[in-house]
Amino acid sequence: MIRRGEMSVHIIADFFGVKAELIKYAEKMKLLLDPIVFKAGLTILDSKYHQFKPFGVSCIYLLAESHVSVHTWPEVGYMAIDIFTCGDEEKAFKCFELLQKTFNPKKVKKQVILRNYYKNLPKQEV
């Protein structure tokens, strides 16, 4: 049995109707995303951003808890979001809530996957 606070949670989300000026450029995205990841209580090990020409961004945060990635298509107001955390599942949901509040999409499609299969697998020699 998995106790609360010990889940691996994978949130996959699509944000539709996001204002293009928020998601066009890597510099702006970093200013918005760094505080979100921090406020969610996640531990950033590294982050990388790629600026597409003329606009659009892909970024990933490597976390002690796993990762957060975001890909944008500002020409259609779309963001693809992936949040995967191990341990305290509340951090993943807090990150999602802050993303939704910050980017204010008109429509959201979200899937939540619990990924704890590894907890019941037999140990191997390493």
Instruction: Name the residues annotated as catalytic.
Output: 66, 71, 86
pLDDT greater than 70 at residue 29: yes
Q: Which CATH architecture has domain 9-117?
A: 4-Layer Sandwich (3.60)
Burial label, 46 (beta-carbon count in 10 A; 0-12, 13-18, 19+): exposed
State which amino acid sits at residue 30: K
Burial label, 99 (beta-carbon count in 10 A; 0-12, 13-18, 19+): buried
- pLDDT tens digits, residue range 69-121? 999 999 999 999 999 998 888 999 999 999 999 999 999 999 999 887 666 67
